[in-house]
Chain A
Amino acid sequence: QSVLTQPPSASATPGQRVTISCSGTRSNIGSNTVNWYQQFPGTAPKLVIYTNNQRPSGVPDRFSGSKSGTSASLAISGLQSEDEATYFCSTWADSLVVFGGGTMLTVL
């Protein structure tokens, strides 16, 4: 059972905007910033959003993040087929990093 709660799956068609949620508590998301990772099958996760809404160099601006209270969201606009992957949220809480269970995004 993961500390942060994500929907197990999401889907959308190319060109659409999709949002993935991440729910926590005051002691984790409510007290710290949130990161998001993208993972393709058989590869390591890759950081796509850090500090709630910052994109590392090389991540398309179609990816955006937000946080409000004890929840955070990852949004992908102008969805492309190559965005089909599993997305994980994470934050720092009680002296360790905690993760969501991951959301598998399908591009229909």
Chain B
Amino acid sequence: QLRLQESGPGLVKPSETLSLACSVSGGSISNSNYHWGWIRQSPGGGLEWIGIIYYTGTTSYNPSFRSRVTISLDTSKNQFFLRLTSMTAADTAIYYCVRENFIYGGHPSDSWGQGTLVAVSS
């Protein structure tokens, strides 16, 4: 059974950088059939795709975040990471790590972590 688990700070100050990790168990992030990504959900409930990474290190980002976001991975630890700079109150959200199946055209996310709430406040 695949399991994804986010970890990181629950509170970030404005202008600082958010760093989150996603630990994957029950499967390998080196599996060539999947992307590994991040999606966030605002307090209003809307979902927003941040970006994904392939096991080769190839990334794709939402243009809305492109200048602030970096997704990386460590295959030896079966983890991938999100780094989001210049945080503002608008970045307050629940951040989910996901497994994305890109074989299907709509890129469904078929496994999700439980999510981690990140608040941006001084």
Contact = CB atoms under 8 A, between A and B. Distances in A.
Do A and B make up one complex?
A: yes
A15 B45 CA distance: 28
Interface in A68-108: 86, 88, 90-92, 95-99, 101-102
A35 B49 contact: no
Interface in A37-59: 37, 43-47, 50-52, 56
A50 B106 contact: yes
A47 B60 contact: no
Contacts of A88: 47
A92 B105 CA distance: 7
Majority SS at the chain B contact face? loop
Nearest to B65: A96
Interface residues of B, number: 23
A34 interface: yes
B106 A91 contact: yes
A11 interface: no
Contacts, number: 68
Interface stretch (B7-15, B80-88, B111-119): B111-119
Contacts of B16: none
B110 A32 contact: no
Interface of A: 2, 32-35, 37, 43-47, 50-52, 56, 86, 88, 90-92, 95-99, 101-102
23 contacts: A2-B46, A32-B105, A33-B104, A33-B105, A35-B107, A35-B108, A35-B109, A44-B112, A45-B47, A47-B109, A50-B101, A50-B104, A50-B106, A50-B110, A51-B105, A51-B108, A86-B45, A95-B60, A96-B62, A97-B100, A97-B106, A101-B45, A102-B47
Given A35-B104, A51-B105, 20 more contacts: A32-B106, A35-B106, A44-B96, A44-B112, A44-B114, A45-B47, A45-B109, A46-B112, A47-B109, A50-B106, A51-B108, A92-B105, A97-B49, A97-B100, A97-B107, A97-B109, A99-B47, A99-B48, A99-B49, A101-B46
